[in-house]
Structure 1
Amino acid sequence: MNKIAIMTDSNSGITQKEAERLGIRVLPMPFFINDELFYEDITLTQEEFYQRLAEDADISTSQPSPADVMELWEELLEEYDEVIHIPMSSGLSSSCETAIMLAKEFDGRVHVVDNQRISVTQRQSVMDAIAMRDKGMSADEIVDVLMREKLEASIYITVDTLKYLKKGGRITPAAAAIGTVLNLKPVLQIQGEKLDAFAKVRGIKAAKKTMLDAMEKDIRERFAGSQVNLAAAYTCTEEEAGVWKREIEERFPGYELEMDKLSLSVSCHIGPGAIAITCSRKIEI
């Protein structure tokens, strides 16, 4: 039986420390802050990122260099027979397509999974891959399952400020100004490929209700007859995150709720103070 390495990128929210505990590798995503290069969870912590965001620094995301990706694969292939690499969705970054192209140089030993997920749902794909590998499934079998299930996930997010959506060109300056005056909170969704508008409501209370209602509908209709992994994510304070967690648990009793910080690549576009709820269909292994 081939020895399989599992690898992802820091968009999954899996830290270097946690990766070590899980026995996987995490490729750190690069960020440019005022034209200086940083690597997530290596030379850039969550705290430092939000501090620079608050200072209105010029922050932009980038994709890992081909050399960094291939070097990590080569290192893993010295110990393992095959590598399964689970990067962020190709709909949100070109890094996945680049990795697919690079993998052609490795004679079928590197499998890049474009399962179109990000943050907590991407993390779940990694955990599923680990479980399938440990059960004895082959790399091809694991990839087939992850690709089959790739769109069986939902993420709903609301933001605290429209500033970063305006900065990223997702809303116009005029819409941001009106929205701020009227206390409008956009609810965004990620259903596979990209970040889309879902609803626009007044106030955080209405935004939370909209997200909870949407998730309940998904569980009841879209995932009818299936069990789901329920999770929450945030860029807000730990105290606000705790309140959000309790609200989800009250709405969905009986679920084991995972709670995690949103990855910096998402945070860069939505800013601090955001909260999210996610689910993905449980894979029967």
Structure 2
Amino acid sequence: MRIITDSASDITIDEAVKLNIDIVPLTISFGDEVCPQNTVEDFDCFFEKLKVSTSLPVTSQPSPQLYLNIYNEAKLKGDDVLVITLAGGLSGTVNSANLAKDMIDYDRIRVIDSEQAIITQRLLVEHAVKLRDEGKELENIAGAIENLKRHTVVCGALDTLKFLKMGGRIPASMAFIGELLNIKPTIILKNSVLEELGKARGSKASLNLLYKEFEATEVDESFPVYFGHTSSEERCIQFMNETIKKYNLKNTAMFPISGVIGTHVGPGCLAIAFVRK
């Protein structure tokens, strides 16, 4: 079985090889300069550029042809294909995957809009890999992922309002006052759309809002709790360790977040992802 996801999952090329999956890239460009997002080093390089940029880079969804190339390979080998894409509310990536599906006469392809991104999209992909390696069939895996995606939660604490302002999501005046008052917004991904979870003064208070969301959820401990960061590894390690101690967590991991979503939240964002019962 071929499992395909996109680079919004932040799964690196090396990880994809180990998982035996395909990664279809979204393109990120500063003007004419394309920034690949294949390795952790690529992620770090991107955020160094973003910090000094006066405008946001442009992110482009994959072309249908990239999916079609993999579909054709799978058809030749008689392989089933499962595609798990970035949230349709954030990107047209799922449309490209479906357009490619319509371009080939092959009925063993299933395309799933994850309605997720970054570490929750990764969680869904890794669970699909686990089920594939256990010998489950395509329809069973697709059904399991469709169910699981409705129970996954990811929320994050931003370090700056700068990139929300640059992206036109908030007025410049609001960003100025927010920075002056040290306002740190928190966000949550719901129904394929990023929404505001709340605002807090200072980083500690913003993380407390993430804890509040975590505490309000009956967490399914059979799945891992994931932590993510945009070029803030040391702060994320501290956040993860404090959370592990606070809630006696047994199954955790931390991953860097690439520029695909990082473009909009900027460097210094910390995120937590979990599965609710």
TM-score scaled by length of structure 1: 0.90
Cα distance in 2 for residues equivalent to 1:181 and 1:28: 37
**2:94 partner amino acid:** C
Match of 1:271 among 266, 269, 272: 266
Cα distance in 2 for residues equivalent to 1:32 and 1:149: 33
Q: CA RMSD in A?
A: 1.9
- For residue 53 of structure 1, report the CA deviation from its aligned partner: 0.6
**1:69 partner amino acid:** Y
Count, aligned residues = 274
**1:139 equivalent in structure 2:** 138
**2:244 equivalent in structure 1:** 249
**2:6 equivalent in structure 1:** 9
Secondary structure of the structure 2 residue equivalent to 1:249: helix
- For residue 103 of structure 1, report the CA deviation from its aligned partner: 0.9
Secondary structure of the structure 1 residue equivalent to 2:107: coil
Cα-to-partner distance string for 1:22-71 (whole Å, 9 max, x where unaligned): 111111221121133343217x8112211211220641111012222211
Matches within 5 A, 1:178-217: 178-217=177-216
- For residue 105 of structure 1, report the CA deviation from its aligned partner: 2.7
Match of 1:62 among 60, 66, 71: 60
**1:134 partner amino acid:** D
**1:262 equivalent in structure 2:** 257
176-185 or 135-144, which deviates more: 135-144
- For residue 227 of structure 1, report the CA deviation from its aligned partner: 4.1
- For residue 208 of structure 1, report the CA deviation from its aligned partner: 0.9
Cα-to-partner distance string for 1:198-242 (whole Å, 9 max, x where unaligned): 1011100101111012111113xxx5x774431110014322121
Work out whether 1:29 is the aligned partner of 2:34.
no
Cα distance in 2 for residues equivalent to 1:145 and 1:67: 28
Cα distance in 1 for residues equivalent to 2:25 and 2:50: 19
Say whether the 8 Å CA contact 1:33–1:57 is kept in structure 2. Answer: no
Secondary structure of the structure 2 residue equivalent to 1:45: helix
Cα distance in 2 for residues equivalent to 1:45 and 1:103: 30
- For residue 153 of structure 1, report the CA deviation from its aligned partner: 1.2
**1:26 partner amino acid:** I
Cα distance in 2 for residues equivalent to 1:264 and 1:75: 29
Cα-to-partner distance string for 1:225-280 (whole Å, 9 max, x where unaligned): 77443111001432212111111111221321111112321100011011011112
Say whether the 8 Å CA contact 2:152–2:275 is kept in structure 1. Answer: yes
Cα distance in 1 for residues equivalent to 2:159 and 2:141: 38
Secondary structure of the structure 2 residue equivalent to 1:53: helix
Unpaired segments ≥5 residues, structure 2: none
Unpaired segments ≥5 residues, structure 1: none
**1:90 partner amino acid:** G
Secondary structure of the structure 2 residue equivalent to 1:99: helix
Say whether the 8 Å CA contact 2:223–2:251 is kept in structure 1. Answer: no
Say whether the 8 Å CA contact 1:151–1:191 is kept in structure 2. Answer: no
Secondary structure of the structure 1 residue equivalent to 2:262: helix
Secondary structure of the structure 1 residue equivalent to 2:224: strand
Say whether the 8 Å CA contact 2:233–2:256 is kept in structure 1. Answer: no
**2:120 equivalent in structure 1:** 121
Give identity over the alignment, percent: 30
TM-score scaled by length of structure 2: 0.92
Shift of the 76–39 alpha-carbon distance from structure 1 to 2, 3 Å rule, reads farther
- For residue 91 of structure 1, report the CA deviation from its aligned partner: 1.1
Secondary structure of the structure 1 residue equivalent to 2:113: coil
**2:236 partner amino acid:** A
Cα-to-partner distance string for 1:129-179 (whole Å, 9 max, x where unaligned): 111112222111111121122221111111111100111122111111110
